[in-house]
Structure 1
Amino acid sequence: MKEFAASLETATPREGVDLAARLAWEMVRKVQPSKSIRDRLVVIYEDDAETILMACQIIATNFQAIAAANNYWRD
Structure 2
Amino acid sequence: MEQWLPSLITETPSEGFELAIKLSRMGVKKTQPDMEVLHKLRPEYSESASLLIESSKTIAMHFQTVSQANNYWRDN
Decide: shared fold, TM above 0.5. yes
1:13-63 Cα offsets, whole Å, 9 max, x none, are 110000000000001011100111000101111110000000000000000
Gaps of 5+ in 1: none
Stretches (4+) displaced over 3 A: none
Q: Give the whole-Å Cα distance in 1 for the aligned partners of 2:58 and 2:38.
A: 18
Matching residue of 2:39:
39
Q: Which residue of structure 2 lines up, in the alignment, with residue 19 of structure 1?
A: 19
Structure 2: distance between partners of 1:36 and 1:7? 30
Residue 28 of structure 2 is matched in structure 1 by: 28
Give the total of aligned pairs: 73
Matched AA of 1:32: Q
What are the ranges of 5 or more consecutive residues in structure 2 without an aligned counterpart? none
- Give the distance between the partners of 1:5 and 1:37, measured in 2 at CA: 25
Residue 30 of structure 1 aligns to a residue whose secondary structure is: helix
Task: Compute the TM-score of the two structures, normalised by the length of structure 2.
Answer: 0.88
User: Where in structure 2 are the equivalents of 1:1-75 lying within 5 Å?
Assistant: 4-72=4-72
Give me the identity figure in percent: 37
Alpha carbon RMSD of aligned pairs, Å?
1.6
